[in-house]
Amino acid sequence: LFLYFTSGFQTRRGICAEKMISHNMTWIRYPTHLGADFESIIASQSIISRFMQAYFALFVPTSLAAGAFILTTFIRKRTTLEKLDIFLWDLAVTNILVTLFSFTAFVRPKYISTSNLICGVLSFFFNVCYFNAQYLQMVMLFTFLLHNYPNWMNVVTSIPQKPLGCLGLILACAFCSSLVGVSLLGTAGTLHEITSCQVDPLTAWPEYEMVKVSLGFGIALISEMFFLVLLFVKLAKWEAPWHKENMATYQVVLAITLILFACRLFYNTKLLCRTRLKLQQNLGTPWEELIMNIAELVLFGESCVSSLAIVLLHKPCRDALFKLLRDITKSCRRGGGHQNSNSLTHL
């Protein structure tokens, strides 16, 4: 439905009719590679370089450490894992993989130079993680926040009763969505040509961005609006939407939902702006390229913030963190006390 109205809108403006006839994307170049406005290029490259330094100095190690801590906590309590633990375990693994994919941006303001085949494989596996996190968040939202809703909702909330089977279904949907996306890259006939690569290739067909926004953000946005309507209806009936004993679960699920929404709203908005430029056969400016690169870093940073939210809000992880801090404090005190006793002995 989203694709239909988007295509119809562009056709009425006379843009889409001209561009969709041919999917030749060889005319596309990064504005910073043209060298037309040297001052803007130098300024934009300086800014993105500083953003990259901050991201790799702060977000990457924090994300990897938080993800490893979550996995270690769940492995230690593997015999008592609850349904939410299993979902968060999958999200933690996905966040670690997204952080590793972010190393493809390490060379910015330059881009990785590789073949279309390798770039397509990179884009495919990144999109599997991208869609998996989004679909997992949707399932968690409806599973843990609507489980006490009227009887007709029991069909929806009872689907993930078997977490492992539900995770398999989510991964299958993510795999299929990513497969649809990679089929729209438009590089099937030029697999061995060298290109400047990123996780969402610049030379992809406009349909690629449309499908990614629709499947990876549009569906989630509609489902979240539907959820808010149900929640407001429940509040209007003076029914308690949440129970105190499940407050910790509600907090972590809502936090993950808000983090994904905020980060992906910015990124998908810029992705649609890039699509508009393609339909207008416009290369854009170095500043537009800069904002797109910043949006990509925000998308990568989502994995770090999401993992931190799990560590700080999910009770097993929070308890394990406090225990670790207490053990470190006790070790430091013992070490300090031992040194003081040795100094007194020498005196």
> Which DSSP state fits 33?
G
What does the alpha-carbon distance between residue 152 and residue 300 come to, in Å, rounded to a whole number? 38
The H helix count followed by the E strand count for the chain is 13, 2
Q: What is the per-residue pLDDT for 12?
A: 43
Q: What is the per-residue pLDDT for 339?
A: 56
Q: What is the per-residue pLDDT for 29?
A: 87
Encode pLDDT of 278-335 as tens digits. 888 888 888 999 999 999 999 999 999 999 999 999 988 998 999 988 888 888 877 6
Q: Which of 87, 93, 63 is nearest to 305 (CA)?
A: 63
The three-class DSSP label of residue 110 is: coil
Q: What is the per-residue pLDDT for 4?
A: 37
Taking CA atoms, 330 is separated from 230, 324, 327, in Å, by 49, 10, 5
The three-class DSSP label of residue 197 is: strand
Q: What is the per-residue pLDDT for 13?
A: 44
Residue 115 parent element (H or E): strand 112-115
What does the alpha-carbon distance between residue 304 and residue 314 come to, in Å, rounded to a whole number? 15
**Boundaries of every domain in the chain:** 38-324
Q: Yes or no: say if 186 and 111 are a contact pair by the CB < 8 Å rule.
A: no
Instruction: Quote the pTM value.
Output: 0.85
Q: How confident is the model at residue 163 (pLDDT cuts 50, 70, 90)?
A: confident
State the chain's mean pLDDT as an integer.
Answer: 82
341 or 24, which is more confident: 24
242 or 208, which is more confident: 208
Token code pair at residue 252: 């972590």
Look at residue 250 and tell me whether its pLDDT is greater than 50: yes
Q: Which of 98, 105, 111, 143 is nearest to 260 (CA)?
A: 98
Look at residue 148 and tell me whether its pLDDT is greater than 70: no
Q: Does domain 38-324 have CATH number 1.20.1070.10?
A: yes
Q: What is the per-residue pLDDT for 162?
A: 76
Q: Which of 170, 159, 158 is nearest to 93 (CA)?
A: 170
Q: What is the per-residue pLDDT for 296?
A: 94
Q: Yes or no: say if 229 and 143 are a contact pair by the CB < 8 Å rule.
A: no
Look at residue 192 and tell me whether its pLDDT is greater than 80: yes
Token code pair at residue 190: 């030029």
